[in-house]
Structure 1
Amino acid sequence: MGALPKVFAQNQLRRSPIYRLTQAAGAFCEVINSGAVPMHYGNSDSELDRARRMAIADLSGLPRTGFKGTGTVDWLAGQGLTIGPDSNMAYRQDGGALAARLAPTEIFLIDGLEATGALIDRLNGAWNWGTEKPRKLIGYPMPRQDSHAWFMITGDAAPDMFAKICGVDLRPHKFAPGRIAQTSLAKMSGIVIRDDRGAIPAFHLLADVASAEYLWGAVLDAMSEFGGAPVGLQALRRLGEVPS
């Protein structure tokens, strides 16, 4: 099995809320930014094919954060981020991270799949109240590492699968790259962000960490008729590198 070496466990690395489920499915994990991340399930070539058809990956061990409130977008722009004016859109940053604008003054940041954590670490370290009076409005941090589970759904059949659990039409001609849907997924609230890997449809799925096991099972059930199954981060990285 892909259990982490004892030294990792002793260091109390951050684990996904569905760590036990991915371990039971045979996941082999690596440590990325102090998080245990499923990299593969034993056969990277077959996982690549699966990811092109229908797959789910657990990215909950990767870095993410958030900022909210009046002045948030201006402060992030001052930190070098590029964030467009439209809400419910995700904006790509240098290095691959996405700044998901959930509302005019709320940004949810998820790292790119290379998962260096550099941007998110820098932003978390840079935020602080100034000493000026009146104090400049720069928003406030909304830590997301422990509030939201993070899955990624890939494959040509993904929009059809989502039609079973989500009321939003996620077909490519209806839901463009970068679009965000804050909606109901399998009868619970969640966030869907389209972020294709090459020519393959791909969607980030962010939801309440307390319901992660339920949602993981619901998606696996919904994708079963399409031959869907879990894949690791390696397959997602390769997916963006190969032609469809």
Structure 2
Amino acid sequence: MNAINPTSFKRRSFIYRELVKLGAEFGEVNGAAVALSFGAAREAELASARRLALADLSVMPHAGFKGRGTAEWLTAQGLNIGADSNVAYTQPGGEMAARLAPTEIFLLDSLAGSGALMQRLNAAWQWAAAAPRPQQGYPLPRQDSHGWFMLAGEFAPEMFSKMCGVDLRRDRFADGQIAQTSVAKMSAIIIRADRKGKDGRAHAAYHVLADIASAEYLWSCLMDAGQEFGIKPVGLTALRDLEQ
């Protein structure tokens, strides 16, 4: 992808100015400006992602559905959603359906970023013409409400211990598990989502979702907490490379 100026896109991260200061190189993903790299050699950014790195995925497609009948309706639409809450269920296309409660699902796109699943679901969902309406939940504008970061690398659990009360060590916090907790004194959702390479190795990674209006504050807190571990900002390319 050719480098682009994020200001030329209507869809850009709330923290794009901070990313620019850090040397981000942007590309277009699904009509939005996404930080693909930060000027370092590709292998260097991949090494950072394996050790400790923070990436901004806030403009990547994400959505939500809530209310009675939500899980049943999404299952009827072909999604794999288990019975347990606080678990994220991986879909065939790599998307994740995070069940926050019996009647609330948070959807995250795969790192391909096509948005195809969200587009299909939004097109399929509609109010019934008249009462009594079926129990099928209702859509939530998560794209507009939640910023989305990914913290990757072997030192991620140790870094989290400085700012979160939940034990996120990999032997205590399973892949796909969700913690609805406080990070840096603000409400956040943490989802363990290890990146699995073709060699079978799993690289530690965690989605961090929080109020989009406080995205810049949370980014700065995460970067500050990771300084002792040599945290680096990385782009989408490094996260994708973890699966190669």
Q: Same fold (TM over 0.5)?
A: yes
Say which of 171, 174, 182 aligns to 1:173.
171
Partners in 1 of 2:60 and 2:136 — Cα distance? 26
Moved more, 65-74 or 123-132: 123-132
Deviation at 1:237, TM superposition (A): 0.3
Partners in 2 of 1:104 and 1:144 — Cα distance? 18
Deviation at 1:3, TM superposition (A): 7.2
Q: How does 1:10-25 map to 2 (within 5 A)?
A: 10=8, 12-25=9-22
TM-score, L = length of structure 1: 0.94
Q: Which runs of 4+ in 1 moved over 4 A?
A: none
Q: Deviations over 1:200-228 (max 9, x none)?
A: 11000000001100000000000000000
1:40 paired with 2:12, answer no
Q: Deviations over 1:14-50 (max 9, x none)?
A: 0101110001101011111121100001122100000
Match of 2:28 in 1: 31
Moved more, 130-139 or 50-59: 130-139
Unpaired runs of 5+ in structure 2? 197-201
RMSD, aligned CA: 1.3
Match of 1:72 in 2: 70
Partners in 1 of 2:239 and 2:59 — Cα distance? 15
Contact 2:67/2:136 (<8 A) preserved: yes
Deviation at 1:59, TM superposition (A): 0.4
Contact 2:3/2:27 (<8 A) preserved: no
Q: Give the total of aligned pairs.
A: 237
Partners in 1 of 2:131 and 2:182 — Cα distance? 43
SS in 2 for 1:178: coil
Indicate the percent of aligned positions where both proteins have the same amino acid.
Answer: 57
Q: How does 1:1-244 map to 2 (within 5 A)?
A: 4-5=4-5, 9-10=7-8, 12-42=9-39, 43-131=41-129, 133-198=131-196, 199-241=202-244
Deviation at 1:60, TM superposition (A): 0.6
Q: Deviations over 1:142-191 (max 9, x none)?
A: 11001000000000000000000100000011000000000000110000
